[in-house]
Amino acid sequence: MNFKVALAEGDGIGPEIVEAVLAVFSAARVPVSFERVEIGLSVFQRGFTTGMTREAQETVERVGTLFKGPMETPKGKGVKSINVTARKLWNTYANKRVFRSLPGVETPFSKAGIPINLTLVRENIEDTYGGIEHFLTHDVALCRRFITRPGSEQVHRYTFEMARKNGFKKVTCGHKANIMKLTDGLFLEVFYEVSRDYPEIVANDVIVDDLAMKLVRAPDQFQVLVLPNLQGDIISDLCAGLVGGLGFAPSANVGDSVAIFEAVHGTAPDIAGKGLANPTSLLMSGLMMLRHFGLMEHATAIENALYLTLESGIHTSDFGSRDKKACSTKEFAQAIISNIKLPADIAELAADKRGSSNAAERSGHRLLESAKNGGVVVGIDLFVESNNQPPAIAQSVKSLLARPYKLTLISNRGTQVWPSGSLLTDCVNQYRVRIEVDEGVSVTERDMLRLALKISECMRISSTEMLMKYKDLPAYSLAQGQS
């Protein structure tokens, strides 16, 4: 009985490390059959802008699991990272990475006798990774950052479920809610809401910069971390550094339908084709995949063999003692294989442990939405291009406004410059003009858009944003300096 997995070898060192991992899996009689799919550089070069063929997408959606080597995204505009595309396309909302001290991999912490065992879950879909960017003026670029309640709930629930299953006692949320009160604030709020369903687990939070410092000073105070996408990206590489680098950090991208297992390092073009690459990160990602399938005994047997190999000082050229000659990728895999000890009764599996995706059951997109809590329009922010001084902009806008509309704020790069501010605030050619409606007056989005149209007669509007109130509370931030 076999689990089915779509296999993409990847680019650069990808084929070499995939071959090494498959040799180890085969020696451990892992009951997984691989179906090769075309994803990566060569597919881009054949003109597929997503980096994958239609057949590859169908195979992944049918079998529900993708095991992949690192992939190169061609440089230049118009092509998006294949790795980010794959994660977002199949809604693998949780990126789980495990960072553990390994025998034979010397780090400042191993030398100090401080063991590291950290699991980090990074939200994988939202944040600035929507890649929604625009130039508002020739000088000013804007990136939109999405944090949603349903998206946050998915990743937090995954994290707490994973913590419960693995017997972790504490989950820590990293964030920047002190500055980004609405976006990171929402991520943090949902974290604590979800945590109430897991009373046996301590839930706490740390501001991300403080987290970075604490991880470097005393990483053993954390067990499980959960972070928004970009902060999680940066902190996960920091954690990889704590245990010896990217070569030792496995990664799983998990969603409700598809899971992707991959090494976190890149294609290492400098050593590609030379047989020097270290397959450890991909092998450890493969072990996460086996555990995801419930193949615990196979995973443990291979993990023990890997640890034994590392302990004995066998290493590839990117790590380990210089006293012992570095071995090739193939020799490293062979050393692991020779250390594998399988229990005699391994390999029988319960039928319900097979992997599969539910893609075929879908007739449309799933719409994620939490309970509605009303919302009224109370104004509009207009992002305008101008080289004028703030009082002149205010005068122009005010000359076009009548009750119930009032100009309440002009800011530049988020800092208030009208009605008050400091002349020491340098400005660029893009202002935010905030127009609000008198308290209690009911207006619609159309009213606000009509108003924007009128103001566009005197200045160039590059973007607009409705100002809403939910449950009588403003659903927009104030400018720096605004009270």
Q: List residues binding ligand NAD (CB under 6 A).
A: 13, 17, 70-73, 83, 246-247, 262, 265-271, 277-278, 281, 318
Q: How far is the CB of 68 from ligand NAD (least distance, A)?
A: 7
Nearer to ligand NAD, 187 or 248 (CB): 248
Q: How far is the CB of 278 from ligand NAD (least distance, A)?
A: 3
Nearer to ligand NAD, 57 or 223 (CB): 57
DSSP 25: H
Nearer to ligand NAD, 72 or 123 (CB): 72
- Give residues with Cβ within 8 angstroms of 132, minimum separation 6: 143, 144, 146
Q: What is residue 352's three-state secondary structure?
A: helix
Q: What is residue 321's three-state secondary structure?
A: coil
Question: Of all residues in this chain, which one has the CB nearest to ligand NAD in the complex?
Answer: 266
Nearer to ligand NAD, 205 or 262 (CB): 262
- Give residues with Cβ within 8 angstroms of 300, minimum separation 6: none
Q: How far is the CB of 265 from ligand NAD (least distance, A)?
A: 3
Q: How far is the CB of 103 from ligand NAD (least distance, A)?
A: 18
DSSP string, 107-148: -HHHHTT---EEEEEEE-SSBGGG--EEEEETTEEEE--B--
Nearer to ligand NAD, 59 or 83 (CB): 83
Residue pair 253/262 in contact (Cβ under 8 Å)? The answer is yes
Q: How far is the CB of 10 from ligand NAD (least distance, A)?
A: 6
311: phi then psi, degrees, rounded to nearest 5: -60, -35
Nearer to ligand NAD, 171 or 271 (CB): 271
Q: How far is the CB of 12 from ligand NAD (least distance, A)?
A: 6
Q: How far is the CB of 16 from ligand NAD (least distance, A)?
A: 9
Residue pair 122/232 in contact (Cβ under 8 Å)? The answer is yes
Q: How far is the CB of 18 from ligand NAD (least distance, A)?
A: 11
Q: What's the number of CA atoms in the CB half-sphere (13 Å) around residue 368?
A: 10
Nearer to ligand NAD, 186 or 240 (CB): 240
DSSP 250: E
Nearer to ligand NAD, 270 or 323 (CB): 270
**End-to-end C-alpha distance for the chain, whole angstroms:** 65
Residue 323 burial by Cβ neighbours in a 10 Å radius (0-12, 13-18, 19+): exposed
Taking the C-alpha atoms of residue 411 and residue 430, their distance in angstroms, rounded to an integer, is 9
DSSP 439: T
Q: What is residue 322's three-state secondary structure?
A: coil
